[in-house]
Amino acid sequence: MKLHKVSSRVHANWDGETGGNVGVIELSDSAVAVDAQYPGSARKFRAAIPKVISQPLSHLLLTHIHGDHVFGNMVFKDLEIVGHRRLWEKMEQGLKKEWSPNSLEKMLETYRTDAPERWWLFEGLEIVVPTITFTDSWEMDGVQFTNHGGHSDCSSTVYVPEDRTLFAGDLLFVGMFPWAGDPTANPDHWIDAFQDMLKMDIETIIPGHGPLCDLDEVERQLSWMKEVRWVMQGLIQDGETEDVIASYNYRVLYPTDHPEWQKKSYARWYNVWKP
């Protein structure tokens, strides 16, 4: 994995080959990593960090709960791991349910048999939860870690004001349909998050997935999401069913290779907006 220079203190990888985008921020006497991908790719990520910065890692910041961002935590378990309170709660709940030893073993066996070419990413997976949590925001050496919700209730952004750089997590998918099927996804909060971003002094955004972008992309996606809200709420008022609304031909933001994901996302939004 190669980390590319984004600004004076920020390096990131956004090739998308092994999960969500990741990065590292150099501080005055330490450095923080942002997101962790999967175990296999996290090892490559961590090995790449000393090649671009000189400060030692002290913290890992997690933008949200999904596996392509947190399964690699185990590679950073010697650090302080920071996440929203709901992220910690969900991971603790997961350890008793879908990530219990038996369930985790079954999940890994499925990965091993169904996608052997990607098994190296998951091999040896151990669930590691945050050691530090916050509710609204958390700050370290000027870096601002803020919860917005939207993509999930624990979705948070990492802002480096001095560099005018933002890690948006999965509040931004660039070049692909924005997955919104999480059971806590809330499009109203997502719209609010975009509007918050537009008030910030930002030159470069590292999205959760896709290439670097700027505030023009935020404006584009905000306009689309508001339009979908207007159309969908009209369909709801007309009494259309969930299946009709989830399958409706809304204006395309980006084409999708996974129409079932798109339908599930629209179904989630329907369930937020229905009376």
pLDDT, tens digit, 9 for 90 and up, residues 1-59: 999 999 999 999 999 888 899 999 999 999 999 999 999 999 999 999 999 999 999 99
Q: Domain 4-214 class?
A: alpha beta
Q: Which amino acid is at 45?
A: F
Rg of the Cα trace of the chain? 19
* pTM assigned to the model: 0.95
β-pairing, 143-147 vs 10-13, is unpaired
**Tens digits of residue pLDDT in 193-223:** 999 999 999 999 999 999 999 999 999 999 9
> What is the C-alpha to C-alpha distance for residues 41 and 44, in angstroms, rounded to an integer?
5
pLDDT of residue 28: 93
- Torsions phi, psi of 142, nearest 5? 90, -15
Per-chain mean pLDDT for the chain: 96
- Strand 156-160 to 132-134 pairing: unpaired
Query: What is d(CA 252, CA 227) in angstroms, rounded to the nearest whole number?
Result: 11
Per-residue pLDDT tens digits for 86-96: 999 999 999 99
Q: Where are the domains of the chain?
A: 4-214, 225-273
Average pLDDT rounded to a whole number, residues 134-149: 98
**Sheet with strand 10-13: strands edge to edge:** 4-5, 10-13, 22-26, 31-34, 57-61, 80-84, 132-134
Burial class of residue 233, CB neighbours in 10 A (0-12, 13-18, 19+) = middle
171, with CB counted inside 10 A (0-12, 13-18, 19+), is buried
Beta strand residue intervals within 18-65, DSSP E: 22-26, 31-34, 57-61
Q: What is the token pair recorded at 17? A: 């080959």
